[in-house]
Structure 1
Amino acid sequence: MSIKSFLKPVYCFQAAAIVGVMAGMTLPAQADNWRGWNVHPPGYPNSVALDSFVKEVTENTDGRIKAKIFHNGVLGDQPDAIEQTRSGALNFANFNMGPMGPIVPETDVLSLPFLFKDIDAMHKVMDGEIGQRFADALEKKNLVALSWFDSGARSVYNTRRPINEPEDMQGLKVRVMNNDLYVEMIDALGGNATPMAYGEVYQSLKTGVLDGAENNFPSYESSGHDEIAKYYSETEHLILPECLCIAKRSWDKLSDQDQEIVRQAAVDAATLQRKLWAEGSKKSREDVLAAGVKINEVDKPAFQAKMEPIYAAFVKKHPDLEPLLNDIRNAQ
């Protein structure tokens, strides 16, 4: 018998043994690489919270999900990012509810001016059963909302003058988010509402294309708008929640165990974001004041009175949303 013939059964035995061992092994699954969108710069409260979310998800899934967040809106503006997340091209994102209305009509209720008494009232509403109703509506549009972030109280700022009364808004060109309610709000006050992508606002203020905009203190400062628009009037007309949303396509692929890990990471991120937001908002107010910004209070009842026609028109247009509106008011 040749050596080759003698060794052939040995080779066959070894090959069979290797196949048997491999069949009994559980090979590591390929990591699911998640990409996330965030409009804010690194160091912003939302950005720090999202960094924490990414770390917690990656570590607690033992690398089954490898998440990465892209700050500064580098993957597109919010309307683009919403569509990318709905389609699954992006896996997660932090969205303001303002531009969500055209996609999820229920969220337009949140954009009604002076809806919440204060930020604590917003937390109470969104962390309860009503918040789950909004999450259910978002999920029908392929966005799974796992937690709610703060975005503070939005107020008007401009390059021309303090706003004390609604009449002071007359003729001012004010940037708003892409939502008809914001256009109606500014127009009702006598201003000229100008929907515009957030990234275009700085240059538009600088060149005079815009007279003003509206936002919270941290965004006003981090965007550099305080360098140009030196009058900040505390209208506090909008207290908008933001969501940490997962693409439904990504969510549905997860095991029950990993869904729970991601959900807890989102809740932890919201807790951190709210804490950092409260601290950052106070500091931003102090910083812009020290830098020469003129901050003034306004006659809120006068502004609220101007909003009554907007509420009436909203209920007439969306009678099905009136119970939700009333529930929010009663829950505060």
Structure 2
Amino acid sequence: MKTFKKVLALALATVMSAAVLTGCGQGSDGRTIIRIGHNQSTNHPTHIALVAFEEFIESKLGDKYDVEVFPSELLGSQNEMVQLTQTGAINFCVASNSLLETFSTNYTLFNLPYLFASAEAYHASMDDESITGPIFESTKDAGFEAVTWLDAGTRNFYTVSTPIETPADLKGLKIRVQQSPTNVQMMSLLGGSATPMGFGDVYTALQSKIIDGAENNELALTDNGHGDVCKYYSYDMHQMIPDILIGNIAFLDGLSEEERAIFEEGFQLVNQVQRTEWTDAVAAAKDRAANEQGVQFLYPDTKPFQEACAPMHEDMLAQYPDLTPIYDAIQVYNEQYPSAES
């Protein structure tokens, strides 16, 4: 299946790249095809939200645009999809914030462990355009920009056989992390061994014991089957990292003023639908993981984890002083919406 997806992705990429070079992005009916890729399954909140976007755009501009949503890495890995979006071979894709860190250092801020004090502070910060704007627009020179954010919940550690109650429990364990320098540094400070890899490779790596665990939200247990292998899920709550819907700059700039207004409304719809679906999906995932997969949920004291990662905040602000005003604005929301443990 994995080989098939790679072959399909290569074929689609070749066809779409040729279409871009020849100026052809149209279907047989003359409508412009808008392609959107992501790495989640068809029952994931992200896919449901993008289908709502597809229906909305076609209800308003269906005489001109045909929106097609490709789930489950059918257009390639996230990194490959971002590159396709850069070139305009596809119009939009969903990328993890951690991956975007490699395209713009501004995204480093959102990858910081324990940046947000609570889910409420996280949501309020991400909804504040004065916070997200400078970051979302920072990749324009790279050929794309963020058009909205998606809730990816809280990232926590889950392991095959070792319950994580303290940072010391991570010592000697190989933990899959997203492909970003910040995540590698985080694991080093927590005592574990970071193993960056694409999300699509994680299940096999867990099953074959190439890695001892991973870190992600609850849906990874059920939607991606990781709970079939990993039996301990520990709420250390080290990150609240958004997923980002990005769009090709040339396509976005080519829209008329009226069309862009409709697309902006569609982007807001994606955000709203995805967040509503997310709440329900997490509750369902926890129930299924506990009762069908036999996953044990643990609730360790998060303070030792926070203390271990604290130097990363100072290091980042020293390295990227231009991000200080945004960081400070987030702290205002943290004071307004403190964690339940405070």
Q: How does 1:108-123 map to 2 (within 5 A)?
A: 108-123=108-123
Q: How does 1:1-332 map to 2 (within 5 A)?
A: 30-128=30-128, 129-291=130-292, 292-332=294-334
CA distance in 2, matches of 1:125, 1:85: 26
**TM-score w.r.t. length of structure 1:** 0.88
**C-alpha deviations, 1:175-231, integer Å up to 9, x for none?**
001101101111111110000111111111111100000000012211100000111
**C-alpha deviations, 1:70-96, integer Å up to 9, x for none?**
000111111111111111111011222
Alpha-carbon offset, residue 327 of structure 1:
2.1
Larger radius of gyration: 1
Partner SS for 2:327? helix
Which residue does the alignment assign to 1:18?
none
CA distance in 1, matches of 2:250, 2:236: 40
CA distance in 2, matches of 1:308, 1:239: 15
> Is the 2:56–2:266 contact (alpha carbons within 8 Å) kept by the matching residues of 1?
yes
Q: Structure 2 counterpart of 1:38, which letter? A: H
Q: Structure 1 counterpart of 2:101, which letter? A: G
Partner SS for 2:142? coil
CA distance in 1, matches of 2:140, 2:280: 32
Partner SS for 2:318? helix
CA distance in 1, matches of 2:161, 2:148: 38
Q: Structure 2 regions of 5+ residues with no counterpart? A: 1-28, 335-342
CA distance in 1, matches of 2:58, 2:41: 22
CA distance in 2, matches of 1:180, 1:144: 21
**TM-score w.r.t. length of structure 2:** 0.86
**C-alpha deviations, 1:27-84, integer Å up to 9, x for none?**
xx94211111110010111000011111111221133111101000111111111111
CA distance in 2, matches of 1:324, 1:268: 25
> Is the 1:87–1:249 contact (alpha carbons within 8 Å) kept by the matching residues of 2?
no
Superposed structure 1 runs of 4+ greater than 4 Å apart: none
Q: Structure 1 regions of 5+ residues with no counterpart? A: 1-28
> Is the 1:41–1:71 contact (alpha carbons within 8 Å) kept by the matching residues of 2?
yes
Q: Structure 1 counterpart of 2:40, which letter? A: H
**Over the residues paired in the alignment, what is the CA RMSD in angstroms?**
1.4
**C-alpha deviations, 1:211-268, integer Å up to 9, x for none?**
0000000122111000001111011111112222221111111111111111111101
> Is the 2:138–2:145 contact (alpha carbons within 8 Å) kept by the matching residues of 1?
no
Partner SS for 1:271? helix
Query: Which stretch has the larger CA shift, 192-201 or 60-69?
Result: 60-69
| Identical columns (%) | 28
Query: Which stretch has the larger CA shift, 218-227 or 166-175?
Result: 218-227
Alpha-carbon offset, residue 145 of structure 1:
2.2
Q: Structure 2 counterpart of 1:104, which letter? A: S
Partner SS for 1:234? strand
CA distance in 1, matches of 2:235, 2:212: 17
Alpha-carbon offset, residue 118 of structure 1:
2.1
